[in-house]
Structure 1
Amino acid sequence: WASSLRYHQGTYYVSTFAKTTGKTHVYSTKNIEKGPWKAVSFQPSLHDHSLFFDDDGRVYMVYGSGKIQLAELTADVAGLKPGTKPQVIIENASAPAGATPGLPAEGSQLFKIKGKYYLFNIAWPRGGMRTVIVHRADKITGPYEGRVALQDLGVAQGGLIDTPGGEWFAYLFRDFGAVGRIPYLVPVQWASGWPVVGSPAGKVPATLALPANKSLRPGLVASDEFARRAGEPALPLVWQWNHNPAPALWSVAERPGYLRLKTGRVDSSFLLARNTLTQRTIGPACAGTVALDVAHLHPGDFAGLAVLQKRYGLVGVQASQGAKAIVIVSAESEKPVELQRIPLTQNQVYFKIECDFQDRRDVATFFY
Structure 2
Amino acid sequence: MSTSFRMMKTMLDSNRFLALLALLLGLFAPRSVVAAKATNPFIWADVPDVAVIRVGGTYYMSSTTMHMSPGLPIMKSKDLVNWSLLGYAYDTLVDNDKMRLEDGQNAYGAGSWASSLRYHDGTFYVSTFSATSGRTHIYMTKDIEKCEWEEISFEPSMHDHSLFFDDDGRVYFLYGGGDLRLRELESDLSGIKEGGFDEIVIEDAHSVVTDDVMLHAEGTQMLKVDGKYYVMNICWPRGGMRTQTVHRADKITGPYEGRMALQDKGVAQGCLIDTPDGDWYAVLFQDNGAVGRSPWLVPVTWEDGWPVLGLEGKAPMYLNIDDNEEGLANIVASDEFNRKEGSPLPLAWQWNHNPVASDWSIGTRKGHLRIATGRVDESVLQTRNMLTQRTFGPISSAMTKLDVGGMKNGDVAGLIALQRHYGYVGVRQTADERSLVMVNAGGDSPVEVARLPLDQDSVFLKIECDFREHVDKAYFYYSLDGKRWRRIGDVLHMRYTLPHFMGYRFGLFNQATEETGGFVDFDFYRIDDRLSE
TM-score between both structures, scaled by the size of structure 2: 0.66
How many Å separate the matches in 2 of 1:21 and 1:85?
Answer: 25
In angstroms, what is the RMSD of aligned CA positions? 1.9
The equivalent residue for 1:345 is: 455
Q: Does 1:204 align with 2:315?
A: yes
Equivalent in 237, 240, 245 of residue 347 of structure 2: 237
Shift of 1:283: 0.5
Contact 1:132–1:148 (8 Å) recurs in 2: yes
Contact 2:126–2:139 (8 Å) recurs in 1: yes
Q: How many residues align?
A: 365
Which stretches in structure 2 are left out of the alignment for 5+ residues? 1-112, 479-533
The equivalent residue for 1:149 is: 261
The equivalent residue for 2:429 is: 319
% identical aligned pairs? 57
Q: Does 1:122 align with 2:228?
A: no
Equivalent in 67, 86, 90 of residue 179 of structure 2: 67
Question: Secondary structure at 1:275's aligned position in 2?
Answer: coil
Question: Secondary structure at 1:201's aligned position in 2?
Answer: coil
Equivalent in 285, 291, 297 of residue 185 of structure 1: 297
Question: Secondary structure at 1:236's aligned position in 2?
Answer: coil
Contact 2:354–2:385 (8 Å) recurs in 1: no
Superposition pairs of residues 7-22 of structure 1, within 5 angstroms: 7-22=119-134
Shift of 1:339: 0.8
How many Å separate the matches in 2 of 1:223 and 1:172?
Answer: 28
Shift of 1:65: 0.3
| Residue identity matched to 1:205 | P
The equivalent residue for 2:420 is: 310
How many Å separate the matches in 2 of 1:304 and 1:311?
Answer: 16
How many Å separate the matches in 2 of 1:126 and 1:233?
Answer: 50
| Residue identity matched to 2:321 | L
- Worse-superposed segment, 205-214 or 273-282: 205-214
The equivalent residue for 1:224 is: 335
The equivalent residue for 1:250 is: 360
Equivalent in 331, 335, 341 of residue 445 of structure 2: 335
| Residue identity matched to 1:23 | R
Q: 1:334 to 1:210 in 2, by over 3 A?
A: farther
Contact 1:264–1:275 (8 Å) recurs in 2: no
Question: Secondary structure at 2:390's aligned position in 1?
Answer: coil
Equivalent in 122, 138, 163 of residue 26 of structure 1: 138
Q: Does 1:173 align with 2:285?
A: yes
| Residue identity matched to 1:15 | S
| Residue identity matched to 1:174 | Q
How many Å separate the matches in 2 of 1:75 and 1:214?
Answer: 42
The equivalent residue for 1:367 is: 477
Contact 2:340–2:362 (8 Å) recurs in 1: no
How many Å separate the matches in 1 of 2:157 and 2:195?
Answer: 18
Q: 1:59 to 1:265 in 2, by over 3 A?
A: same
How many Å separate the matches in 1 of 2:449 and 2:245?
Answer: 46
| Residue identity matched to 1:64 | G
Which stretches in structure 1 are left out of the alignment for 5+ residues? none
Contact 1:70–1:89 (8 Å) recurs in 2: yes
Shift of 1:334: 3.9
| Residue identity matched to 2:213 | P
Contact 2:123–2:141 (8 Å) recurs in 1: yes
The equivalent residue for 2:244 is: 132
Equivalent in 464, 467, 471 of residue 354 of structure 1: 464
Question: Secondary structure at 2:318's aligned position in 1?
Answer: coil
The equivalent residue for 2:524 is: none
Contact 1:234–1:252 (8 Å) recurs in 2: no
Shift of 1:128: 0.3
Instruction: Encode CA deviations 1:162-185: one digit per residue, 9 max, x unaligned.
Output: 111111110000011100011101
Q: Does 1:279 align with 2:385?
A: no
| Residue identity matched to 2:166 | D
